[in-house]
Amino acid sequence: MAYGNQSLDQYRKTAITTASPLQLVVMLYDGALRFMHQGRQAIIDGNLAEQNEKLQRAQRIIAELTSCLDMEQGGEIAQNLFALYDFAYNRLVTANMEDRADYVDQAIRVFSDLRESWVQVEAQQRGGERAA
């Protein structure tokens, strides 16, 4: 079993070190969404410890994404992303405090839509690189 975990860890490290910046952003979204879904399920199951852990992990990813925004260079796009990240982050905090799965659903919707946008941008960039 340890060998399987080592192989998985190595695969993850390789995926991260070889990913483009846009792919890394998508990976962060995937992680945040995974933790949101897990936290939501923990709310439904009444597992407060797991709920807290998973929702806080999602919050840390959102905080990391927020800290990477360049408000000067990014202009309106960075401001809009900041507002969406702030909304999702605050929804997760409130969901965790009040055991509200519906608030997690709202954050999931925001992040799912954003993730899809980043996937499209990454695909367009890949297509442009092939044409060059």
The domains located in the chain, with CATH, are 20-131 (1.20.120.340)
Cβ neighbours, 10 Å, residue 38:
19
pTM score, two decimals? 0.83
Helix axes 21-45, 71-98, angle to 10 degrees: 10
Is pLDDT of 94 > 60? yes
Task: Enumerate residues 6+ apart whose C-beta is below 8 A from 36.
Answer: 54, 55, 58, 92, 104, 107, 108, 111
Q: What is the pLDDT of residue 89?
A: 98
Residue range 106-132: mean pLDDT, rounded: 86
pLDDT exceeds cutoff 70 at 18: no
Residue indicated by tokens 């949101």: 36
**Could you tell me the CA-to-CA distances from 34 to 4, 18, 41 in Å, in that order?**
21, 22, 11
Q: What is the pLDDT of residue 127?
A: 78
pLDDT at residue 103 in the model: 98
Whole-angstrom Cα distance, residue 40 to residue 20?
Answer: 30
